[in-house]
Amino acid sequence: MLTEAVLEMFIPITLFIATVLIVWIVVAFRYRSKRDVQATYRAAIERGQELTPELLDRLGESQPKNRDLRRGIILIGVGLGLAVFGVTIGEPDAVRPLLASGAFPFLLGVAYLGLWKFSRQDT
């Protein structure tokens, strides 16, 4: 059976491993997406098809136009969720750290909403 000291050491190690794993998965999927677009370009060129600027724009546009809006709403929800969790947990020592932890994603979400709003006015 694992001792308490081993379990206390295992929790932060698991956190770091999970963080690295999530970042690796995101990078791998972005790489795969870009590789597939390049394969489509090559196949079109090998068949002798003309690559128009409209086609290149459509193929290169892998990100949705409302990406900043989606990220902003999700981050605001995460921030508010942490804040509500901190208030409802009923532990006075947990309120402040959870409010502070929720402030970071909340403010990032507000920044993304601002980027979405300003980029929408440019187009």
Angle at the Cα of 49 from the Cα atoms of 45 and 54, rounded to 5 degrees: 100
Q: Are residues 13 and 57 in the same domain?
A: yes
Domain boundary among 62, 94, 112: 62
State how far the Cα of 26 lies from the Cα of 28, in Å rounded to an integer. Answer: 5
**Does the predicted TM-score (pTM) go above 0.85?**
no
Query: Quick check: 123 pLDDT over 80?
Result: no
pLDDT of residue 59: 67
Q: How many domains does the chain have?
A: 2
Q: Are residues 80 and 108 in the same domain?
A: yes
Q: Are residues 70 and 88 in the same domain?
A: yes
Q: Are residues 31 and 79 in the same domain?
A: no
28 falls in which pLDDT band (50, 70, 90)? very high
Q: Are residues 58 and 68 in the same domain?
A: no
Are residues 116 and 110 in contact, defined by beta-carbon separation less than 8 angstroms? no
Q: Are residues 4 and 20 in the same domain?
A: yes
Neighbouring CB atoms inside 10 A of 98's CB total 19
Are residues 82 and 102 in contact, defined by beta-carbon separation less than 8 angstroms? yes
Domain enclosing residue 14, as ranges: 1-62
121 falls in which pLDDT band (50, 70, 90)? low
